[in-house]
Amino acid sequence: MSETGLPALGGCRCGQVRLAVSTPPMLTMACHCSGCQRMTGSAFSLSAAIPSQGFAVTAGEPVIGGLHGPEAHHYFCPHCMSWMFTRAVGMDWFVNLRPTMLDAPRWQAPFIETYASQKVPWATTPAVHSFPKFPSVEDYQALTAAYADWAAAQPEG
């Protein structure tokens, strides 16, 4: 996955909220938890963990929906209600962006999948690592290192 074409621009379905990503992800994920199933209306959510300094909302004012805490805040467009990104409370160094918000989608292939214990029976992803719930904080350090090598070998997207 190249680092060209940055910043990557994106927005919600209606375009009221726009964002720009200037730093590649540290990790890409699919989450099969029942909460993500509810908020997406689909089998799983996709995330790209973007370092916070490389993420900017450039138009509009996202509102919190979904979980209002204590563990996470889910951000939505106030008009079209697209679920755009997530901030983990107490972990302000990254933002979990839904890569489907990007105008030219990239970073969609999940390197890991979480909450496989709750996945719908037919849902499969190409994730290299699968976890019944979330990995531990210690696991994430090794996973982000492994992701960088894996991402470098991936075709764009």
The footprint of Zn ion (CB under 5 A) covers 12, 14, 16, 31, 33, 36, 77, 79-80
Q: What is the residue-wise DSSP string for 87-100? A: EETT-TTEEEE-GG
Q: Shortest distance, CB of residue 36 to Zn ion, whole angstroms?
A: 3
**Greatest pairwise CA separation for the chain in angstroms:** 39
Q: Which is nearer to Zn ion, 51 or 66 (CB)?
A: 66
Q: Which is nearer to Zn ion, 1 or 83 (CB)?
A: 83
- Separation CA 130–CA 133 (nearest Å): 9
Q: Shortest distance, CB of residue 71 to Zn ion, whole angstroms?
A: 11
- Which residues lie closer than 8 Å to 36 by C-beta, 6 or more apart? 44, 45, 115
Q: Which is nearer to Zn ion, 42 or 53 (CB)?
A: 42
